Chain A
């Protein structure tokens, strides 16, 4: 049935890749693709009580529906002990999809409606939620709900899935210790949130921790502070950190060779190409038929977003994953103190049926870049190698890549310094 609804409502699934359940471009009230997954997942009934005792990893969730009045609250599993793993995407790269779903679906989301600007309200649940977001370790708590937590695994392209939810009426929790670095940034009400985020990143704080504190309005100039829906805060933090890293690497010398890094995970095939150029960046994704955002398509859809030296002025067409991957690239180049152009090729094969969140892109690109790259002296050789490791023919990648086309067809001033245009680059294919 969903297939029917879906086909009637769209001109093919291209729009789905650009929307990914966020913008509802098809005009439906709910995303038919997500609805199809929901219909297949079991309804959770593991919680049959108004009260739950558990250790929050720590974790908070800020909803986006109803903005600027949104649901805010902690997430906790009905179990004690060290649960920190459950909300630390940096540690999930070796999980299988099933393991991942299993522990994420145990996270119960408490909800309490509040205006996003009311970060300083006296209401206890809100104050407690903020403290949980700032905590450095798991917090044992007793959460009382108005209704029994209901629902099933909630999926999104940006946010990692979570389990049932219910309106909160009361939280009782023990003392908790704030992360000192967060405490300092939180206390500085003249520090812009952008600067706070980058400072914390430079102090080796995990992206997921920064994002939690960011989402409860933990940073920024005092009167500008507000709750930021989890989905937006993830990309905001990726984007801020990436942007600052790129600013730094633009000062470094260009790398000397072409490099190709490769990696396979969750039926995604990754190849990262570094070019000895000034900073430019592109992420190209090829969604095979029967994958998460191309479930009924007949052919593979390829989408990309890119930036040149001056950066972007608009939000990336392909969404938050663009920023998550850019952060990972910036990180690698900064560590080397080098500059490069970068094109990321991602093939999403049919085993990838479930959107798991952009952490998957960030951590996989990070992982890809820790592998040993193959080095090449020409773009031609690098592309030939990519054609061997990827399924999609290199011609098709180039056709969909603004950065590669630019490099291949756009001449440079120095190409004319000695002896006319550089013949080598004219026809790399």
Chain B
């Protein structure tokens, strides 16, 4: 059983986060939370997202898994205006999710979630933790993408550094400890990442968001932030590139 009402802009945030990496996804629904875990087809990034039942105006659900075509769902949500309240209702017999808002209703066929494998979460010990503004991270990533496909993230006890080298140019963004909301780092660590993934991640991080970033040496970066007005959490893990910068 699933019957829920939610503001379209909140649902939009959640679905856009999930569809960063995948076109089809499996939402796990419990009585007080909806969550999703997925890796992209190239197995380079992993996203875990969860949002609480309190993000909904109405939420009545029994535990279940829901296979959803995220592309289709995104298109439906785009038809709504941000303040529209969307009603989601599961039609178990027809295996459909009925979505209605304003005077539109969409009966969306669900996917077989039993064939969607859940990825294993790596257990990596990341030694640093930095909290910074979404806008600072976005600026560094935008700057780097003008000259390269990769970015080096370095943490020292004094600062967080975003840098890259192109064929002829180099870019370096220094965020000193004082300018950061939080910065824990004992010794220097450094990893290299694909900008393609980070740039697309920035589409769902707002400039004012507090972003928590954890690093290691040639280890994945973990990026945590809140969505859905603080009622949802995203944890994003991106595997590094190891080798020539």
A309:B41 contact, CB within 8 angstroms:
yes
Chain B 112-123 interface 0/1 with A at a Cβ cutoff of 8 Å (1 = within): 000000011111
User: A411 contacts which chain B residues (CB < 8 A)?
Assistant: 44, 220, 239-242
Contacts of B237 in A (CB 8 A): 413
In whole angstroms, what is the CA distance A374 to B43 when docked?
26
Cβ of A413: which chain B residues have Cβ within 8 Å of it?
A: 39, 43-46, 119, 122, 220, 237, 239
- The answer, yes or no, to whether B219 is at the interface (CB within 8 Å) is yes
Question: Nearest chain-B residue to A339 (Cβ)?
Answer: B41
Residues of B226-245 whose CB lies within 8 A of A:
237, 239-244
B contacts with A, residue count (CB < 8 A) = 25
Q: Which positions 27-51 of chain B face chain A at CB distance < 8 Å?
A: 39-46
Considering the complex, give the chain A residue whose CB is closest to the CB of B149: A402
Residues of chain A within 8 A (CB-CB) of B239 are 410-413, 415-416
Whether A417 and B242, one on each chain, are in contact in the complex, defined by CB atoms closer than 8 angstroms, is no
- Taking a contact as CB atoms closer than 8 A, the residue among A250, A279, A416, A426 that contacts B220 in the complex is A416
**A-side contacts of B124, CB under 8 Å:** 416, 420
Contact of B44 among A405, A412, A420 (CB under 8 A): A412
Contacts of B46 in A (CB 8 A): 413
In angstroms, how far is the closest chain A Cβ from the Cβ of B143? 22
Does B154 belong to the interface (CB within 8 Å)? no
Interface flag for B136 (CB, 8 Å): no
Q: Does chain A have a CB within 8 A of B218?
A: yes
Contact (Cβ within 8 A) B242 A414: no
Complexed CA–CA distance, A414 and B43 (Å): 7
Closest to B194 in A: A410
CA distance A64 to B120 in the complex (A): 54
Interface residues of B in 1-47 (CB under 8 A from A): 39-46
User: From DSSP, what is the main secondary structure of chain B's interface residues?
Assistant: loop
A67 lies within 8 A of chain B by Cβ: no
The one of A278, A408, A414 in contact with B120, judged by C-beta atoms closer than 8 angstroms, is: A414
Structural contact, A417 and B120, CB atoms closer than 8 A: yes
Central interface residue in A308, A416, A426, by most chain B CB within 10 Å: A416
Residues of A within 8 A of B41 (CB): 250, 278-279, 309
Q: Which residues of B contact A309 (CB under 8 A)?
A: 40-42
Q: Binary interface profile of A, 328-364, with partner B (CB < 8 Å = 1, else 0)?
A: 0000000000000000000000000000000000000
Q: A393 interface residue, CB < 8 Å from B?
A: no
Complex: how many Å from CA A326 to CA B241? 27
- B241 touching A412 by the CB < 8 A rule? no
* Nearest A-chain residue to B121, judged by Cβ: A417
- State the Cβ distance, B200 to closest chain A Cβ, in Å: 10
Q: Is A409 an interface residue (CB 8 A)?
A: yes
Min CB distance, B102 to chain A, in Å?
32
Q: Mark A100-122, 1 if CB is under 8 A from B, else 0.
A: 00000000000000000000000
Is residue A421 contacting chain B, with contact meaning CB distance below 8 A? yes
Count of residues in A whose CB is under 8 Å from the partner chain: 21
Interface pair A409/B218, CB less than 8 Å apart: no
Partner of B42, one of A308, A408, A415, A416: A308
A182 to B205: give the CA distance in the assembly, Å: 51
Contact yes or no, B244 A409, CB < 8 A: yes
Q: In the complex where A408-B243, A409-B242 touch, is A421 in contact with B43 (Cβ < 8 A)?
A: no
Least CB distance, A427 to chain B, in whole angstroms: 8
B192 closest partner in A (C-beta):
A409
User: Using an 8 Å CB-CB cutoff, how does the interface string of B207-227 with A read, 1 for contact, 0 for none?
Assistant: 000000000001110000000
CA separation between A414 and B119, bound complex, in Å?
9
B220: nearest chain-A partner, CB-CB: A416
Once the chains are docked, how many angstroms separate the CA of A420 from the CA of B239? 11
- B120 nearest in chain A by CB position: A417
Q: How far is the CB of A406 from chain B (nearest CB, A)?
A: 8
From known contacts A416-B239, A421-B242, infer whether A278 and B43 are also in contact, taking CB-CB under 8 Å.
yes
Are B42 and A426 within 8 A (Cβ)?
Answer: no
* Cα of A415 to Cα of B241 in the assembled complex, Å: 12
Residues of chain B contacted by A279 (CB below 8 angstroms): 41
Scoring A residues 279 to 315 as 1 if CB is less than 8 Å from chain B, else 0, what string do you get?
Answer: 1100000000000000000000000000011000000
Query: Which residue of B is nearest A411, CB measured?
Result: B239
Nearest residue, chain A, Cβ from B243: A409
Contact of A410 among B44, B119, B122, B244 (CB under 8 A): B44
Residue of A nearest to B40 (CB): A309
The complex places the Cα of A412 from the Cα of B39 at a distance, in Å, of: 10
Provide the residues of chain A in CB contact with B120, threshold 8 Å: 414, 417
- Inter-chain contacts of A410 with B (CB < 8 A): 44, 194, 239, 241
With both chains docked as a complex, state the minimum distance between the C-beta of A76 and any C-beta of chain B, in angstroms. 49
Whole-angstrom CA separation of A250 from B40 in the bound complex: 13
* Cross-chain contact A412 with B242 (CB below 8 angstroms): no
With most chain A CB atoms within 10 A of its CB, the pick from B40, B121, B123, B242 is B242
Residue of B nearest to A408 (CB): B243
- Rounded to whole angstroms, the CA-CA distance of A415 and B194 in the bound complex is 16
Using Cβ atoms and an 8 Å threshold, which residues of chain B touch A405? 243
Q: Which residues on the A side are within 8 Å of B42 (C-beta)? A: 277-278, 280, 308-309, 412
- CB of A276, distance to nearest CB on chain B (Å): 12
- Give complex CA distance A408, B239 in Å: 13
Which residue of chain A lies nearest to B237 when distances are taken between CB atoms in the complex?
Answer: A413
Give the docked Cα–Cα distance between A239 and B2 (Å): 44
Tell me whether A426 and B243 are in contact (CB under 8 A).
yes
For residue B220, which residues in chain A have a CB less than 8 angstroms away from its CB? 411, 413, 416
Within the complex, the shortest CB–CB distance from A253 to chain B, in Å, comes to 11
Shortest distance from the beta carbon of B44 to any chain A beta carbon, whole Å: 6
Can you spell out 22 A-B residue pairs with CB atoms less than 8 angstroms apart? Answer: A278-B42, A280-B42, A309-B40, A405-B243, A408-B243, A409-B242, A409-B243, A409-B244, A410-B194, A411-B220, A411-B239, A413-B43, A413-B44, A413-B122, A413-B239, A414-B119, A414-B122, A416-B219, A417-B120, A417-B121, A426-B242, A426-B243
Known: A410-B239, A413-B44. 7 other contacts (CB 8 A): A250-B41, A409-B243, A410-B241, A411-B240, A413-B239, A414-B120, A416-B219
Closest 9 A/B residue pairs (Cβ): A409-B243, A416-B122, A412-B43, A411-B239, A278-B41, A309-B41, A417-B122, A417-B120, A409-B241
